[in-house]
Structure 1
Amino acid sequence: MAREPEVLSGGLANAGAVLRHGDAVERPAPPHVAVLHAHLRALREQGFDGAPVPLDVSATGRRERLSCVPGEVAVAPHPPWTWTDEVLHSVGALLRRMHDTAADVPFDRAADWPFDLADPEGAAAHGTVVCHNDACLENVVFRGGRAAALIDFDLAAPGRPVWDVAMAARYWVPMRGRAGLDPPHRLRVLADGYGMGRADRAGLPHVIEKATAVCRAFVERRVERGDAAYTAAYEESGRAVWDRHQNWLVDHRRALTAALLAG
């Protein structure tokens, strides 16, 4: 008898629609599935094993199958190990490894990449690699206590590597604050794990501010369209919370920069 597929949690957009069939995951396909699958295959051919392998796309083009990436994901309620410096450092190292590989993978700038969460400079000459753009806690797979792979590349698009680090920082530092954590210190740990150069370190806090504004616009567009999942999340956080968060980033820009450049 065939085993029933396992329903995986998925994100807000794909809740209940991601199924595991043994060693494969079936999920909704993004509109640009062809160019995305080509990119993921190219990453694998260049030696990057930290992403799912595309298997096929349904005849309708609405569903895709990818290899199931083994490991552990820090889903809510997040376990204590989620917030260790070692885990954070490894997230930075994984992003760097992906970016270094992606730098050797040509991409079609004219393709219909999604720019919902992408670097605003990604369409220009500054968009040097295809970034993940959504390396949140639920999209990083761990093995042996270290970040080993990224999943859910639906929002991947050309951009500057520093943009991808800024987006990751929003979730992993996190830039919205968490009791008992030191954001300037943790931002430095992430940058150290990435091996970030001094120029990008100096500009990172400002890029995080831009990334936060892009994320806010992303949520508000979906609320305006009546998306129930995003509307519920927005009502829980509220406009005032976003305002406080953006003001906090501006107020702490100097402290964040000092921590990044110390030593």
Structure 2
Amino acid sequence: MSAGPGPEVLSGGLANAGAVLRHGDTVERPAPPHAAILHTHLRALREQGFDGVPVPLGVSASGLRERLSYVPGEVAVAPHPSWTWADDALHSVGALLRRMHDAAAAVPSGRADGWPADLADPEGASAPGAVVCHNDVCLENVVFRDGRAASLIDFDLAAPGRPVWDVAMTARYWAPMRGRAGLDPSHRLRVLAGGYGLGRADRAALPRVIEQATAVCRAFVERRVERGDAAYTAAYEENGRAVWDRHQTWLADHRRELTAALLAD
């Protein structure tokens, strides 16, 4: 009797490339060190009525691998398809993030210790209204169905912080301010903020928070490079220090313009 088909290798992120496997309705992947509290949090989100996260199914005896439900849909992996940049898709990302934050606000684990600090909001759990933020809502971590964002995946870098911090981290990917032909960063920030329902005070703060989040992301990459992480070193060599410098300068130079656009409504 011939063996059945083997597992499907899914497109993992930079850190998990080639290590995320699908077995039918189950996904097996490297477990983050905080898998226990993360799984508790994901279950609690679902109990609050937010179904836009995978169902945690357990951790291996070694603690090195986790099992989650497979989330059906389409993920905008590189090279990103044209629909990725549609306003409706971006609006739906903001709406999905808001739904997650609203559910997380009712989950006590938002104040728990043990979350990773890598991309966490420096104000953390002590910030007013803090929730567990995803912190890495990049294009590859959103599952779409019928052109709308339906689920978030890969919560490895989740940690408590201000909701506006998570919006800023999301904006870094979806309203690319390092330049992309045909995309207007000011317009895309407004679409994202509109989908989220971001209040006026947070809209005024968002450009500065994006600058803060960019500095945290840069420090994260440079720590990985200093540790000799081959994947991050290769990416840094391709998009190195000068690119980060230009990006951070652009954000500072355009802060007033971005703020005016966000407050125009």
Normalised TM-score (structure 2): 0.97
User: What are the ranges of 5 or more consecutive residues in structure 1 without an aligned counterpart?
Assistant: none
Q: 1:103: which partner in 2?
A: 105
Q: 1:212: which partner in 2?
A: 214
Distance in 1 (CA, whole Å) between partners of 2:50 and 2:154 is: 16
AA aligned to 2:99 is: R
How many angstroms does 1:125 deviate by? 3.7
2:143 aligned to which of 141, 147, 150: 141
Q: 2:153: which partner in 1?
A: 151
Q: 1:72: which partner in 2?
A: 74
User: What are the ranges of 5 or more consecutive residues in structure 2 without an aligned counterpart?
Assistant: none
1:196 aligned to which of 187, 195, 198: 198
Please provide the CA RMSD for this pair.
Answer: 1.0
Tell me, yes or no, if the aligned pair for 2:52 and 2:151 is still in contact at 8 Å. yes
Q: What is the CA deviation profile of residues 7-57 of structure 1, one whole-angstrom value per residue up to 9, with x for unaligned ones?
A: 111011111110000000000000010000000000011110000000011
Q: 1:132: which partner in 2?
A: 134
Aligned ranges 1:226-245 → 2 under 5 Å: 226-245=228-247
Other structure's SS at 1:61 match: coil
2:43 aligned to which of 34, 41, 44: 41
Distance in 1 (CA, whole Å) between partners of 2:107 and 2:209 is: 24
Tell me, yes or no, if the aligned pair for 2:127 and 2:162 is still in contact at 8 Å. no
Q: What is the CA deviation profile of residues 52-76 of structure 1, one whole-angstrom value per residue up to 9, with x for unaligned ones?
A: 0000110011100000001000000
Other structure's SS at 2:111 match: coil
Other structure's SS at 2:223 match: helix
How many angstroms does 1:123 deviate by? 3.5
Q: Please identify runs of 4+ aligned residues in structure 1 that moved more than 3 A.
A: none
How many angstroms does 1:108 deviate by? 6.0
Distance in 2 (CA, whole Å) between partners of 1:120 and 1:176 is: 23
Other structure's SS at 1:19 match: strand
AA aligned to 2:172 is: R
How many angstroms does 1:110 deviate by? 4.5
Q: 1:21: which partner in 2?
A: 23
AA aligned to 2:145 is: R
Other structure's SS at 1:149 match: strand
Q: 2:189: which partner in 1?
A: 187
AA aligned to 1:67 is: S
Identity of aligned residues (%): 84
Distance in 2 (CA, whole Å) between partners of 1:105 and 1:141 is: 23
Alignment: residue pair count: 263
Q: 1:119: which partner in 2?
A: 121
How many angstroms does 1:115 deviate by? 1.0
Distance in 2 (CA, whole Å) between partners of 1:229 and 1:163 is: 26
The alpha-carbon distance between structure 1 residues 75 and 205, as it changes in their structure 2 partners (threshold 3 A), is: same
